[in-house]
Amino acid sequence: MGNIKLFSSCSCSNSIADLGRVRKNDAPNPHDFQVGEMKAHGDFVVARVVYPSCTNYGGKKILVFKGCKMSDIKQAPKLDPHFCLECGPSPIARFKPTEEGWLMAVAFIKMCSRK
């Protein structure tokens, strides 16, 4: 039986551990990803991202970013789904990769953009 990491983290040394449980061989490869649908509102972007090497939820992630453009996400050579202080672009939130999660993420960026 394989080892289980109790906290998932990005590949740099300054990550903020999230509460996911990911086996090392199932972790998303931040250099192997496809960006799908995106929506921007104010200073926020929500993106559907697929990590083919990741097995949980079929590698699908719904990520929310702040302070970057959709083109920054599309053109990023590395996109780590974990919260990190030095990796850029780095998400500020993640939602369950379902239609409900997508709707919640869109509502979240709209709410955060209100002034």
Residue 43: closest CA among 62, 16, 11, 67: 67
What confidence tens digit (pLDDT) does each residue in 61-97 have?
A: 999 999 999 999 999 999 999 988 777 899 999 999 9
> Is position 71 within any domain?
yes
pLDDT of residue 24: 55
**What is the number of domains present in the chain?**
1
Rounded to the nearest angstrom, the gap between the alpha carbon of residue 84 and the centroid of all alpha carbons in its chain is 11
Mean pLDDT of the chain: 83
| Structural domain span for residue 39 | 24-113
User: Is 104 strand, coil or helix?
Assistant: helix
> Is position 10 within any domain?
no
What confidence tens digit (pLDDT) does each residue in 28-44 have?
A: 999 999 999 999 999 99
pLDDT of residue 50: 97
Q: What are phi and psi of 75, to 5 degrees?
A: -95, 0
> Is position 9 within any domain?
no
Residue 29: closest CA among 66, 77, 67, 64: 77
For a pLDDT cut of 90, what percent of the chain falls above it? 67
